[in-house]
Each structure stands twice: as structure tokens, then as C-alpha cells.
Chains A and B, each alone.
Chain A
Amino acid sequence: MFFRLLMESFRRQRRRKALAGLAILLGTTAVTAMLALALTIGDRIHNELAVYGANIIVFPTAEQLDVKIGGVDVKPASGSFLKETDLSKLKTIFWANNITGLSPELPLTINTSTAGGSPIAISALGLWFNHPFTDTLKTGAPSLHPWWKINGAWPTSNDQAVIGSALATKLNLHTGDTLALPELASHLTITGVVSTGDATENQLLLPLSAAQTFANLPNSISRVEVSARTKPEDAFARKDPDTLSPKLREVWYCRPYANSIAYQIREAIPGSQAEQVRRVEQSEGTVLARISGLMWLICAAALLAAGFAVSAAMATAILERQGEIGLMRSLGASKGAIAMLFYAETGLLAIIGGTLGYLLGSGLAAWLGARIFANEAVTLGTVLNPVLLPVIVALALVVAIAGSTPSIRTTLKMNPSEILRADA
């Protein structure tokens, strides 16, 4: 009997059910889309913030200070280097998966000659270009400096190099030209001219292994730039891990703060010093926190608005059917049975509307995300977040039931004969 009543109610009152269902559907669509966007906004903004370059730098514990003004080495320091082979140890640190890129470098001076034939010493930098670091991660200087613009191609072998635009003008070199290195009995093919907007424009960029050979410093690197996905710094992150109790130290160590990752890098690479680049890291943290905070608050606003919309729709749907309730009561149905019927209807609507809303909202979030943040792989796994489904359906159920409760209670309190007379 109960199921027949339920089924008939859906079959006969299609328009009313459609209206209430539509409210739930739209509400859950908006909430799902906002939640799905808010959940992924952190990673997306982090990817965008990657344009600022490395947020951690690693350098050897020095016996000497860098004497750099405006990015130019006034008095090149000599002596201390890190080992390139030690970089593979970064794969074993606790937050290895959060390292999204690294770029080791080795500066050197190369003697060559100008177009006119007079000898000249140019500064050069050995770098990784699209170097396979792990099976999935190919990294190097271009990926850590997205603002570098190349006219040509990055070097792919040891006899190739790219040249900074200012230096290229000075030496009158173009893509495809050959730079002779008489002292080293070698030559480099220029595969591109790079514009960087900083001191690198006056340098020759060549593959790291070629630089190591030329400088006769096998396996040496002087500095590593690391880009890592980090958690914005809070008061706890600023603590010195060595002053914490072992338990708290463990907690500190296992959080992806820039400080903890730098600490782990120091542990992994012997003789190294790792620091967060505060200008990038601190500011990224603020920007990330503001934008994701904004998304969550908008999400809350969406939830509130959807909640109001759904409960208002449910309340109307119940109020409309006072006559029906009066009739059922006068025919002897108990209050409990009627409430059960209405709640069952509401629940069914919420489950159907919530599920459809989840699908629609996920699709909408994926579409919006792809429109706004370009070059992203869209797969079914990234579009549909399985955790959201029960959350959304549960939310829809709670809101719909909470929204219809006051109306059901008011109507049940009324005298059935009064309702029926008023309706007639």
C-alpha cells in the first residue's frame, strides 16, 4: 500500500515533483561544481604559480660568500661543489613526490673569439634541458623558468648550446651558427637564442655534462633550484625541528612545508645547504591561501543558497498538498504514516536529484576548469570525484528533509476537517 501511494504520487503529480526535483538538481549541481573546483584549486593555482620559478634552492655549505650584484658574479667563488649524482637521493626523501622540478647549474668561463677574431671570455652556465629525472618527470632549467622565451630549440646533445639574446647580439651569432672553442678543441652549435629578462641574457647556456667536461669538474654542480609543492607556512612550520619534542618533530617532518622539504634535502645531500626562496615561497603561500579561501567561502555561500532554495521548494511542495493530507487523515491514516510517506517522497527526490546534480556538477566543474586553466589532461578519474557523491547525496537528503519538516509538522497539526472545508 505504502509503495503504491509513493509510486502513484510520483506518477500523477509529475509537474509538482519536477519543480521540487529541479530545485534539488540545480542546488546540488552548483554545490558539486563549486566543491569540485575548490578541491582542485590548490593544485591548479600551484601550477600557475610555477611561473615564479624555484621555491627552494640548494647550494654547497660554502667556505666563501657569493659576490653577486644584480645576478652577475663579480668575483666567481671557487672550491665547493655538490655532486650531480647525489641529486638522485632526492627521489628517496619523504616528500619526493612533491618535487615537481629541479634544475642544477654549473657556471664557467669559456674563451672564444668574436666575429672579428679577437679573443673574448664569455660566461656560460651548464644546465639540464628536459633531463629525465624519474620515469615520469623530465625536468630542467626551461621548466623551472617558464618566462624564458626561446627562439629556436633547447639543446639535445653535448655539442649544442643556446645563447642569451644580449650575448648573441654582441657576438653576432644566430640560430644554426657554430661557436668555435679553440682552447678546448671543440665547437658548439647554437640551436636557439633565449630571452630571459635578467642577467642570463649575457650567458651561453649549454648542457650540464658538456659544462662539466669543459670546466674539468666532472660530476660537479654549484647550485640546484628546486620547485616543490608545499603547504603554506604557518606558525608551526617556522619552528626549529631540533628544538621540538621527538613526537612533534615527527609531525613537523611529515608535513610538506618548504622548511621541512629543505630540511630533508639537507639530510639527503651531503655537504649541502637548502633554503626556501622566501620571496617566492612566502608570497605563493599567501596568494594560494587567499584564492582557495575565497573558493571555500563561495562554496559555503553556494551551499547556503542551494539549501534555502531546496527547502523553500520542498516547503511549497508540501503546503500545496494540504488537501491530500487532510483527506488521508480523515480516512484514518496515522500522523506517522503520512509523515513517512512524505519523507519517503522527499528522500527519493533528494537521492535522484542529488545523483543527477552530482554528475552534472562534476561535468560543469571539469568544463569550467578546462576553460580557465588550459593544458590539463581531462580523464574520467579527474572529472568524477567518488568521494563527493555520498557527500552531495547526503547533503541533498539533509537539506530536503530539513526543508520539508516544518511544513509537514504544521500541516499535520491542523484539523483535517478544517483543511478539507477550506479547500472545498
Chain B
Amino acid sequence: MKTTVKTHLTFTTMLRRSLIHRRGRSFSALVAMTVSAAVATALLTLYADLDAKLHKEFRSFGANIVVTAPTGSKGLPEDALARIKTAAGPDAIAAEFAYAVATTDRGTSVVVAGTDFDALRRLNASWQVDAWPTAADTNAALLGQRAANFIADERAVKLTFAGKDITLRGVGRLKTGGDEDSRIYIPTSAFHAWTNVAPTVIELQIPGGAVNVESALTRLQHELPDAKVEPVRQLVEGESRIVDKTHALMYGAVLLIALTVAVSVLATLSASVLERRRDFALMKALGGSQTQLMGMFLLEALVLALAGVAVGFVIGSAAAWIISQVNFHTASQPRIGVLPLVLLLNVLIAAMAALFPVRVLRGLQPAALLKGE
């Protein structure tokens, strides 16, 4: 019992003395372990968030599912939007559209769409609009930039549908580069009161890529068996392709950097162990056993590795946070979940660094080394 305590004491004293006495070397080993832990933490934190962050960027492409009323019907059922919203889940954005071909005050035919401006705005982040009408404004009209050229007075837009007139206040112009440029958007309530045409199309955006879209398609079709539920094919395919490729690229990058850092750290630490051949020889000559010496080196490396993980986790999380903030404009919160992996990686490197030189040291004769070669 007494011997164990004594050994233990000697061990800690030796450890402390070894770390403090060779401050320069301990410090450079600590820096190496910190860098490896910081890099691993930063990359793993970023990597864990990557798909969610990328999918978020793809939201600006707009709707990825279109629900259309069956041909020949009078439009979608009245509660269709509410049912679709429930079936699609809380993250989805849905907007319903009713279309009618009206005549402008200049006698040109124009497509007028009745919709909910709030949903339209959230669904189409890429559209360029001078001023979005508020949802409360039931008399507002958003004019497509081409359609606006066929209207005499943009302040008081006069439209005729089936002999009925309506006068709306144009609040802004819309620029998309698509069919929308030739349309006029007005609020659903005004549209319905004027034309009595029911909505025929619901555009939906389901976040999260092809898998989510596929499952949403099934749910929506089940909810509205008569309607035509179709994905916007190029968007769904493209998103998955690009996210997958970026993911693969990041994976390659993470492996490459981790490998580089690991091998460099290994080289640095091994060198500092090898350099202590003389200590090794002396301890052996004084009666230290092979196991004790190995334990000594191992413990020293592990202490450094743990200190490295503690500091590195903080630095790495900060780096991941900054990278996310700069690039994606959203923060990446520190993830405790990556800690075990980082710890494992660092301890593995430290253990290898301590044990790798032992093979070289074992072959040495203490006497020869102490004599000076």
C-alpha cells in the first residue's frame, strides 16, 4: 500500500517537473494538441450543420410542389389550403392562387391572380418588388413590370372581367423575369368578390430536399386525391444534387485537414519523446520498468491531450461560429455532441505519439546511451 502511494507521488511530481522544466517543449506540444482539437471541433460542428444550412439557402428558389385543381372542375375545395397546410407540416410555406383573364383600361387582355400577399412574399424571396402591399390592404394591386406598360393609370388600375369592373390601387411593380411579369396580383378577398372564381393552384415550399418533398407529395395526394400534386422537378433534383456534392466535398476536406493535422501533431510529439532518450536511459538505469516508463510518457501525452481538447473545443466552437456567421449569416451553436469524437481523436493521437517511439527506445542500451552514444 505504502509503495503504491509513494509511486503515485513520484509519478505526479515527475510529471509536473517534466512539464514545467521543459516549458518550451511542453508548450509547443500543447499548441499542437490544441490546434488539432480546435480544427476537429470547428470542422465537425460545421459539418453537422451543413445540410440544414444549405437546404435553407435553397428556399430562395421558391415553391417546389404545385397542387392544381383537376381539369374541368370548379377549382380546389374551399378548405384545401388549410388541409394542405396541416398535411405539409409547420415548416412549409403555402400560397393559393386563383386566375382570371381580365381586360385593362387600354383593352389588353391580362392575367389577374388573386392571392395572399404575405404568403407570396415569403414564398418568393427572389422577386424584386418596389413595395409589398400589406395583408390588411384589400384594395391593393401588384403589377408585373410588363403588365404595367398596358395600364393607363397605375394609381387607379381599372380592370374588367365578365362585364364587372373593379378599380384597384397599384402599390408597386413586380419584376421576376418569368410569366409573373405579365400578370397583376390582387388580394384573394377582392378577387373572389369581383370574379367569383375559386382558387385553382396552391404553390408549396417544403424545406429539406428530395426526401422531404417525396414524403410530402404522398401525404398531399392522400389529403386531396382528386387534385394533381406535382413536384417542380428541376428544383427538387437540383437541390439534392448540389447539397450532396457539397456535402461530399466537405467530407473530403474534413478528412484531409484532420489527417494533416493528426500526422503533423504526431510528428511533433514523437520527436519530443524521442529527444528524451537520455531521460529514458537514466530512469531505466535507476530501475524503472519498461511499463512504468511507458506509462510515464503516456500520462504526460494524455495530460497535454486533455488540456488541448479543453482549449481547442472553445477555440474551435468560436471558429465554427464565426465561419457560419460570415458565410451563412446564421450562428452555429457549439455542439457538445462533437466533444467525445474530438476527445477520442486527440487521445488517439497522443497515445500513438507516446507509444510509437517506445519501439525505438526499447532497442537502446541504457549504458551505451548514458556513456554518450
Which A residues have a C-beta under 8 Å from some C-beta of B? 16, 19-20, 22-23, 26-27, 29-30, 33-34, 37, 41, 45, 48-49, 51-53, 56-57, 62, 64-71, 74-75, 145-147, 196-198, 275-283, 286-287, 290-291, 293-295, 297-298, 301-302, 305-306, 308-310, 312-313, 315-317, 319-320, 364, 368, 371-373, 407, 410, 424
Contacts and interface: CB of A to CB of B under 8 A. Distances in A.
A278 B126 contact: yes
A293 B327 CA distance: 6
Contact of A29 (B128, B178, B260): B260
Contacts of A16: 271
A372 B231 contact: no
A147 B326 contact: no
- Among B53, B54, B256, B327, find the residue whose CB has the most chain A CB atoms closer than 10 A: B256
Given A279-B61, A283-B58, A319-B24, A301 B319 contact: yes
Interface of B: 24-25, 28-29, 31-32, 35, 39, 42-43, 46, 53-54, 57-58, 60-62, 66, 68, 99, 101, 108-111, 124-128, 146-147, 150, 175-179, 181-182, 201, 230-235, 237-238, 241-242, 245-246, 248-250, 252-253, 256-257, 259-261, 263-265, 267-268, 270-272, 275, 319, 323, 326-328, 372
B28 to A, nearest CB: 5
Contacts of B230: 197
Nearest to B230: A197
Contacts of B248: 371-372
A52 B176 contact: no
B253 A48 contact: no
Contacts of B275: 316, 319-320
A147 B28 contact: no
Contacts of A196: 233
Given A65-B109, A291-B242, 14 more contacts: A19-B267, A26-B263, A52-B235, A52-B238, A66-B182, A74-B111, A275-B175, A277-B178, A279-B124, A290-B328, A301-B319, A312-B32, A316-B25, A320-B275
Contacts of A320: 271, 275
B29 to A, nearest CB: 8
Contacts of A65: 108-111, 146-147, 150, 182
A257 to B, nearest CB: 14
Contacts of A280: 61
Contact of A290 (B57, B101, B146, B319): B57
B42 A316 contact: no
A22 B267 contact: yes
B271 A317 contact: yes
Contacts of A278: 126-128, 175-178
A277 B127 CA distance: 10
B268 A312 contact: yes
Contacts of B234: 51-53, 145-147, 197
Contact of A297 (B62, B267, B323): B323
Contacts of A147: 233-234, 237-238
A320 B147 CA distance: 79
Contact of B260 (A30, A56, A319): A30
A268 B241 CA distance: 35
B241 A305 contact: no
A279 B176 contact: yes
A198 B235 CA distance: 12
B256 A30 contact: yes
Contacts of A275: 175, 177, 181
A191 B109 CA distance: 38
Given A286-B57, A305-B39, A68 B260 contact: no
A71 B179 contact: yes
A274 B29 CA distance: 61
B323 A26 contact: no
